[in-house]
Amino acid sequence: MSTQLIFFLVLAIIAIAGAVLVLKLNKISHRIVSMFFTFFATAGIYFLLGAEFIGIIQIIVYAGAVTILFVFGMMMTEHRNITFGYHPRKIHRVLSFIGVGTLLGLMLYGISTLDNLPLKEQYVGTAEDIGISLYGHYFIAVIGMGFLLTAALIGAIVIARKEAK
């Protein structure tokens, strides 16, 4: 077992545990901390893959900015313990656990039997290469994503205003 695999497994466990805790914890402040650890572990996985630029962007944008945005959102909104009407029965929980365990087992089997052939040429992308690719070849897609995110923001504002009334 190589050290890179050990680091990957540790980071993957941190990312998965953080994601599960985001769903499972009750207090929003605890959820934000677990979300931060999930984002940070994902950035570490990017570093292991050799995508340092994407790892840095992951830390700056997600682990930094998005987490701070959630903290400000938490400070500016009223918090109530909201419970959902549906509580799963024990059989549903057991079936979900069996399904997730089976999926995890299949994924681990697939990863362990994968032939890891070394790449002939390592790609080292600089910020300039990524920018030229993003705003050159995929300019229409970037503009489309801008419109989509703007529409999502407007939709969130409309939903929030309906709840306030």
Q: pLDDT tens-digit profile of 92-147?
A: 888 988 998 999 899 888 878 877 666 666 556 677 777 787 788 888 888 888 89
Average pLDDT, integer, range 18-27: 87
Query: Among 29-43, 54-68, 89-103, where is mean pLDDT lowest?
Result: 54-68
Q: Say whether pLDDT at 41 is over 90.
A: yes
Mean pLDDT across the chain: 81
Q: Which residues 6+ apart lie within 8 Å of 26 measured at CB? A: 81
pTM over 0.95: no
Inter-helix orientation angle 67-76/28-49, to 10°: 170
Inter-helix orientation angle 3-24/28-49, to 10°: 160
